[in-house]
Structures are given as C-alpha cells and as structure tokens.
A and B are shown apart, each in its own frame.
Chain A
Amino acid sequence: MKKIRKVKNNLEEKFRQQTDELRIRDGQLRQGADREKLGADRERQGADREKIAEEQIYIRTKAIESTLDGIFIIDAKKPDFPIIYANPSFYSLTGFSKSEIIGKSYFLLYGIDSNLRVSEEIKKTLRQGKFFHGEMLKFKKNGEKYWCLLRIAPIRDSKGVITHYVGTKTDTTLMKQRDLEIEEQREELLHVTRVGKLAEFVSSLAHEISQPLTAILSYAQAAQRMLKDREPQLREILQYIINDDQRAAEVIRRLRSLLKKNKPAFETLDINTLTNDTVTLIMPHIIAKNKVIKLELAGGLPLIHGDRIQLQQVLLNLISNSLEAMEESKHSTDLIIKTSLKNAGTIMVQVKDSGCGIPEENMKKLFAHFFTSKPDGLGMGLSISRSIVEAHGGHLEAMNNPDHGATFYFTIPVHVANKP
C-alpha cells in the first residue's frame, strides 16, 4: 500500500510539474503572439487569418467535448501511460470523475486491472508505435457492464517522435446485444435443424431395418407352427430368434419415440418478415463467402398460417444449398430471394442462385432420403424441407435456370381467417 501511495504521490508531483511547465509555455506563447499581433497591427489580412485559425481550434475543441465517443489523451513520454485529458463522454462512459482520471495511468483506472493480458497487449502494441483496436467488455465505476470498442493511436511531433496517444472509446453495448440475440436465434434454428435431420435419419433407418425384422419374425413363427409338436430343441431356438427379433424392434421403437418430432406450432405469419429474419440470421455466412443476397419481396402479400421455425428451416436449407452451389465459382455471386402472389390463394417463395445448376440425372432424386451430391452431406435437407412444405399444404420444386444456376421454389396457401 505504502509503495502504491508513494508511486501515486510521485505521479501527482510529476503531473503538477508538467502542468506548471505547460502553463509557463502557454504564457510564453501568448506573449509571443501578443508581440506578433502588435507588429502586424495594421495587417488586417493577417489578423483575419488568425481569427479563422482560432475559430478552427475552438470548433475542434468543442467537437471533442461534444462527441458521444469517449476521448482521452495519454502522455507518451511517461512510462506509466498517465491520462492528461479526457472529454465529458469519457467521464459518463466510465462513470469516473475528472479527479479520478486525470494524471492516473490509463491501465490502473479500474484499480488492479481486471484483464492484465489485454493491458499488456495494448502496451506492447503502443510501444511498437502501432495503433491498437479491440472490442472488450468493461465495467463502469458502479460495476455496470458495457461493451466498448477501444482504439488508441499514437500522436507524433514534427520529428516523428511519439509524444502522446489519443484513445477513443465507443459504447457498443446495444450493437453487441443485437449480435448476441441474432447468434442465439441462429443457434436455436441450427439445433432444430440438426435434431430434425437426426429424427428423419432415424425414421428412415427404422423403416429399412423393420422390413427384414418383419420377415425374420414371420419366418420363425411359420417354422414354429410347421414343427407343431416335433423337434422341441429347434422350436426353442426359434423362440429365441423371435424374442431377439422383438427386442431389436423395441430398441428401434424407443429410439423413434426419443426423437419424436415436435408438433408444429402454427401461427399467422408474414412471409416477408420471415424471409427478412432468416436472411439476417445467415447474413454473416453470406458476407464471409463474398456473395450478395438480393431480396425481391412483393408488397401487400396476404398472411400465411405456419410454423415459423420450420419454415425458417426450409429457407435456411435452400439458401445454404445455393451458397454451396455457388462456392466453386468466383463469378457467381448473386442469390435472389423472391416472394410473390402466385394466385389469389397461394404465395410463392423462390430462391434463385447463379451456381453450377443441377445435373439432369439428379433432378428426380433431389428430394429423396439420403440423396446427396456433397461429399459430407447426409442427404436429409431437401427431403425434410419438402415434407415441411407439404405439411403446410404447399409444394417444393426445383428447376435449372435458362442461363445458369438453379431455382428452388415453394408455395404456401394464403391463410383463411374464417373457413366457410
């Protein structure tokens, strides 16, 4: 404690000295300026120029004081990074008062710095003369959390020597919260999709296995009946076959009920809102792949009746397929999602890509279970999508575009509020 106090006192002393020095220098400058003024008394132009310069300085100072970003200046010549200036937004952002900030090391503002590793990284970057840029979770004086974008840049004198550092702190809490919400929604949708794929997979597997189990059971029971009272040992073996067959069937039944699909939750939906929401979820993915998504959403579309998550799942599946189809080519970047009114009772959603298209021989098998053209694909996506669309009373189809790429489109009946 004593040590800290000593360091603090030293710091305060140094800061006082520095402030005094500045005051003296400022005085000298002013005197010089006065002299100059006297000398150029009759030169109105010069005076005007000076007035403009003064105005500029005034406006810049005001701008720094008025901006919503927290701005602070660190003395680079001192080893402990003392803050020599902070604007009002910096005080309100951090919750500290002027006396708690000025003269203190930037890295000791929060007491013993909560994140030593980050501090060290910032110091290292600054000492190398580079600028620092990072987003981090911080705490206000009252303990309240906030996300902040911190950027610190060196200020150099005319000889290129770093004299100060200027830092800006931008509160990104609101943006971050929105990002986190989107991330959560995306995770939820992906989870539902994964579970859906697994359920569909198990269901198909159950069907395939139950066929031979049916045959085995019937053969064994037939054989038992044929033997009637003869060959008791053989009849016993047949009974074991029957028991094990039924045991296997029970395992499959349990597995199926474990992955029982959730009943769809139908609600009234606006297809354009649903499309926008889904695109928001996959946007980072689209940007990362350097693709462009274009929305052509028809206005004034009637509402539909459906399960939001399931329909998002369909759209997400179609969009990811399109992105994969466009992966190979750098030239194909455009993905168009179009909503329209097909007829008075039907809405149509189209996902049109400019990718490699679908080979003619694959067209018929596209929607079949386990059909895939991807090396790591399960072949469940499109078959699940089709069954979802059909459960909504619509159809999901695919066709190749006349120029290049493919279009997947599905229909959904318009919601009728009161059925006649």
Chain B
Amino acid sequence: MPVNIFIVDDDESVCRALKTLLMTYDFEVKTFNSAQSFFDNVAHNDPGCLLLDIHMSGLDGWEVQKRILASGSRRPVIFISAEKKDDATDRALKAGAVGFLQKPVNGQTLVDLISGIKV
C-alpha cells in the first residue's frame, strides 16, 4: 500500500478536503491545483499514488495519464471525477488507471481502493 498520495484537482477546496480526510488515515498527502505544477514538483520516479481529476482547464486528466505512461513511470492513478460512471470507469481502466471514482467520493471507498494497490 502506498504511503504517499498526490492530489491534482483545479478546485482548491476539493484538494484541501480530500487531503484532510486522507490524513486521518495517516497518508502523506500533497496537493496540486494544476497538472503542470504536479509535473514541475514531482519527479516521475517519486513513489506515490495519484488522485487525478479529469475535467480541468489546461492539461486534462486523460492527457496527464498519457504523459505519465509515456515517461515510463508506473505510478498508480485513480481518476476522481464528476463524469458519468459507466463510461468513465471503462475508459479509465483502458487508459491503465487503477480505478475511477465518481464525485462526491466516499472516504472509505477511496481508502479501500488505495489499500488494494500493490507497491
């Protein structure tokens, strides 16, 4: 199970709330308001799971996932989005993500998904 969590979401309040919640489960959490600031501050081989919003201005979630795979990183990615569940889950798994959770995310469901990731 990864200890480090990175959250990328252009909504500051969503970042702060998820971070507060995940910290109660003793995760180390860092948040970023854009994909660019995530890439600028986190090396592709820094260990940790990425919680990634899909609908963002600038680089969107799908594009970020593509770049991560292209860089050779094997970082586990969980998409978190308001998008419709059925379509997005399929697409997320096809894109190589660990999973997809529809907003608003239930804390325990998220933690269960992270706990299942083998490092």
Q: Are A and B physically bound partners?
A: yes
Residues of A at the B interface (CB closer than 8 Å) are: 206-207, 210-219, 221-222, 225-226, 245-246, 249, 253, 256-257
**Are A207 and B17 within 8 A (Cβ)?**
no
Partner pick for A211 among B23, B103, B106, B108, CB 8 A cutoff:
B103
B82 interfacial by beta-carbon distance below 8 Å: yes
Q: A226 to B23, alpha carbons, bound, how many Å?
A: 10
Q: A207-B55, A210-B82, A218-B104 are in contact. List 16 more A-B contacts (CB 8 A).
A: A206-B82, A207-B82, A211-B11, A211-B13, A211-B14, A212-B13, A214-B11, A214-B104, A215-B16, A218-B18, A218-B20, A222-B17, A222-B20, A225-B25, A226-B24, A249-B104
In the complex, the answer to whether B21 meets A210 with C-beta atoms within 8 Å is: no
Question: In the assembly, what is the distance between CA of A246 and CA of B105, in Å?
Answer: 9
Interface 0/1 of B1-44, CB less than 8 Å to A? 00000000001011011101101110000000000000000000
Asked if A214 and B14 make an inter-chain contact with CB atoms under 8 angstroms apart, the answer reads yes
User: Complex: how many Å from CA A14 to CA B98?
Assistant: 98
A160: min CB distance to chain B, Å: 77
Docked-complex contact A210 and B103, CB < 8 angstroms:
yes
Are A245 and B55 in touch, CB under 8 angstroms? no
B94 interface contact, C-beta 8 A = no
The residues of A that contact B118 with a CB separation of less than 8 Å are: none
**In angstroms, how far is the closest chain B Cβ from the Cβ of A214?**
4
Asked if residues B20 and A213 are in contact (CB atoms below 8 Å), the reply is no
Interface pairs (11), CB distance under 8 Å: A207-B82, A210-B82, A211-B13, A213-B103, A215-B16, A219-B17, A222-B17, A222-B24, A222-B107, A225-B21, A246-B104
**Cα of A337 to Cα of B105 in the assembled complex, Å:** 48
Interface of A is mostly: helix
Option from A207, A215, A253, A256 in Cβ contact (under 8 Å) with B13 = A215
Chain A residues lying within 8 Å of B82, measured Cβ to Cβ, are: 206-207, 210-211
Contact partner of B107 (CB less than 8 A), chosen from A206, A215, A218, is A218
With contact pairs A221-B107, A256-B84 given, residues A215 and B24 touching in the complex (Cβ less than 8 Å): no
Q: How large is the interface on B (under 10, 10 to 19, 20 to 34, 35 or more residues)?
A: 20 to 34
Q: How far is the CA of A211 from the CA of B9 in the complex (A)?
A: 10
Residues of B within 8 A of A (CB): 11, 13-14, 16-18, 20-21, 23-25, 55, 80, 82, 84, 102-108
**Closest chain A residue to B82 by CB distance?**
A210
Bound together, the chains give a CA A215 to CA B20 distance in angstroms of 10
| Chain B residues within an 8 Å CB radius of A218 | 14, 17-18, 20-21, 104-105, 107
Chain A residues, CB < 8 A from B107: 217-218, 221-222, 225
| From A210, A219, A256, contact of B20 by CB (8 A) | A219
Contacts of B21 in A (CB 8 A): 218-219, 221-222, 225
A213–B82 CA distance with the chains assembled, in angstroms: 10
From B16, B80, B107, name the one whose CB has the most chain A CB atoms within 10 angstroms.
B107
Q: Distance in Å from the Cβ of A241 to the closest Cβ of chain B?
A: 12
User: In the complex the two chains form, is A216's CB within 8 Å of B17's CB?
Assistant: yes
Rounded to whole Å, the gap between the CB of A251 and the closest CB of chain B is: 12
B24 contacts which chain A residues (CB < 8 A)?
222, 225-226
Q: Could you tell me if B105 and A214 are in contact, using CB atoms closer than 8 angstroms?
A: yes
Shortest beta-carbon distance from B88 to chain A in Å: 12
- On whether the beta carbons of A215 and B11 are closer than 8 Å, the reply is yes
Smallest Cβ distance from A76 to chain B, in angstroms?
72
Best-surrounded residue of B104, B106, B107 (most CB of chain A within 10 A): B104
In the bound complex, do residue B84 and residue A215 qualify as a contact, i.e. CB atoms below 8 Å apart?
A: no
User: Which residues of chain B come closer than 8 Å to A207, judged between CB atoms?
Assistant: 55, 82
Q: Bound state CA distance, A257 and B86, in angstroms? A: 11
A216 touches B84 (CB 8 A): no
Known contacts A212-B13, A222-B21, A256-B84: does B55 contact A217 (CB below 8 Å)?
no
Closest beta carbon of chain A to B110's beta carbon, Å: 9
- B17 in contact with A245 (CB, 8 Å): no
Quick one: which of A215, A226, A245 contacts B14, CB cutoff 8 A?
Answer: A215
| A217 and B106 contact, CB distance less than 8 A | yes
- The interface residues of chain A lying within 8 Å CB-to-CB of B13 are 211-212, 215
* CB-based nearest A residue for B11: A211
Q: How far apart sit A219 and B21, CA to CA, in the bound complex (Å)?
A: 6
For B80, the chain A residues whose CB sits under 8 A away are 214
Q: With the chains together, A96 CA to B105 CA distance in Å?
A: 77
- The answer to whether A213 touches B17 (Cβ under 8 A) is no
In the bound complex, CA of A218 to CA of B14 (Å): 8
Interface centre among A211, A217, A256 (most CB of B within 10 A): A211
**Residues of B with C-beta under 8 A to A214:** 11, 14, 17-18, 80, 103-105
